[in-house]
């Protein structure tokens, strides 16, 4: 009997800068660690609003925002990733998240999400423009109009709301967040290696 | 002519959990990197109040707080550091910060600060209790009553206020924060190695 690969859930938000870094580095690291990633798109907006914020904390606290953008410049340079600061920031991620929910159902969520992040943060094309989302779907070899129709169905809207509720119930308060099969939660791109290590050793211990 | 060692300012707050990790790991890492550390005690309270917060964000946002304490448990275990969660949290750090200002003037700020952090987060003794501060001073071989008298002088109070104003003007919004000689700012214990690398290569480039 083959031992199942340990699993790590990756909760991400398309408007989140550090979700970009996480999404574009995760698969290589997970493969090296022998961990399977479950891509979990959700919306941070409702979670932030529940905390009393009407925009990103990087906008609410300007010094924190300045430090974040400078840190992103340094990190992207070190990782060889492009960075074009989206204007405005953050952008409405609702459509992209609904499309990712369809991708989760159909098995292409990782490919779409990586391409979407790279387009948003690497080219400056607007995340909230349906033409951008359609372009990314086409780049992934998908029928954009079919997928966008599915993304507009009540079932998909409801699945995304349920995912966001699930994130909240699991203790998610920011993105990216990694959650191991035993519920252990790791917040932030900086914890990627520790989360993968936890997922792997948790499986090894059973 | 001897080349001066590159310098990195380490801005820390005694009430801050991640300042504890930073303070107890910094000197070994800085020594390996050939970087000299300038220990800069300041108060985060006035900076948080300027952001509209009357306590730590880890108290204001419970899910964030739970994740932080769990992360501290994992990090302390990995680093071999003790962790006793201070109650209440955060504790008033005014006296310890004033004493550290005296230590900066007299050359023992690093030794005192490390011992103070280890006592606060490793034993649960109260940071805001003058007896705790006196105990730590004695452990450092200092005359506690002399130092506590100095710490109560208007000159020291004013020096701490000036340090906090300076932190704010440099863009500090949390602790720990590392600032290189060229003004490059790195927020958080997780950026310790990058900050040291920046300080070192900045000096090598001149």
Question: Tokens in use for A11?
Answer: 């909760």
Higher pLDDT, A60 or A164: A164
Nearest CA-CA distance, residue A152 and chain B, Å: 32
Over residues B124-182, the pLDDT tens digits come to: 999 999 999 999 999 999 999 999 999 999 999 999 999 999 999 999 999 999 999 99
CB A17 within 8 A of CB A84: no
Overall residue count recorded for chain A in this entry? 206
Chain A residue closest to B168 (CA)?
Answer: A63
State yes or no: pLDDT of A24 exceeds 80.
Answer: yes
Classify the C-alpha dihedral A37-A43-A47-A52 as positive or negative. positive
Mean pLDDT of the residues in chain A = 94
Closest by Cβ to B67, choosing from A67, A171, A190: A171
CA distances from A25 to A80, A193, B176 (A): 11, 11, 26
Question: Touching check for A178 and chain B: CB below 8 Å?
Answer: no
Chain B residue closest to A184 (CA)?
Answer: B70
Backbone angles phi, psi at A117, to 5 degrees: -60, -45
**Cβ-Cβ contacts under 8 Å, A172 against chain B:** 63
Q: Which of A191, A196, A198, A203 lies closest to A28, judged by CA?
A: A196
CA distance A84 to A76: 10
Q: Which of A66, A42, A39 lies closest to A159, judged by CA?
A: A42
Q: Which of B23, B29, B40 lies closest to B196, judged by CA?
A: B29
CA distance A192 to B1: 45
Say whether the ipTM exceeds 0.90.
yes
Interaxial angle between packed helices B192-204 and B17-33, expressed in degrees from 0 to 180 and rounded to the nearest 10: 40
CB A63 within 8 A of CB B173: yes
CA distance B183 to B171: 10
CB B137 within 8 A of CB B144: yes
C-alpha A116, offset from chain centre? 10
CA distance B133 to A15: 45
Cα dihedral angle (B193, B7, B202, A64), rounded to 10 degrees?
Answer: 60
Over residues A115-137, the pLDDT tens digits come to: 999 999 999 999 999 999 999 99
Mean pLDDT of A180-197: 96
Closest by Cβ to A67, choosing from B51, B64, B185: B185
Q: Which of B41, B4, B27 lies closest to B200, judged by CA?
A: B4
Contact A66 B190 (CB under 8 A): no
CA distance B114 to B156: 20
Cα dihedral angle (B111, B98, B171, A53), rounded to 10 degrees?
Answer: 110
Over residues B36-67, the pLDDT tens digits come to: 999 999 999 999 888 888 888 888 889 999 99
Q: Which of B87, B3, B15, B106 lies closest to B53, judged by CA?
A: B15
């Amino acid at each position: 009997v083959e031992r199942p690969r340990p699993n790590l859930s990756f909760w991400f938000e398309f408007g989140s800068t550090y979700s970009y870094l996480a999404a574009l580095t995760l698969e290589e690291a997970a493969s090296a660690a022998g961990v399977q990633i479950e891509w979990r798109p959700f919306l941070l907006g409702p979670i932030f609003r529940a905390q009393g914020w009407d925009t990103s904390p990087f906008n609410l606290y300007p010094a924190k925002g300045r430090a974040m953008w400078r840190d992103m410049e340094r990190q992207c340079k070190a990782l060889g990733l492009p960075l074009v600061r989206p204007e405005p920031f953050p952008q409405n991620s609702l459509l992209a998240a609904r499309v990712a929910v369809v991708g989760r159902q159909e098995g292409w969520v990782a490919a779409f999400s990586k391409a979407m992040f790279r387009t948003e943060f690497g080219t400056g094309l607007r995340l909230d423009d349906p033409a951008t989302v359609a372009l990314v779907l086409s780049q992934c070899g998908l029928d954009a109009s079919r997928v966008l129709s599915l993304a507009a169905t009540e079932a998909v809207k409801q699945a995304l709301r349920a995912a966001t509720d699930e994130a909240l119930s699991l203790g998610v308060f920011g993105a990216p967040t990694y959650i191991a099969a035993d519920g252990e939660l790791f917040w932030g791109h900086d914890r990627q290696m520790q989360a993968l290590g936890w997922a792997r050793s948790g499986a090894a211990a059973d």
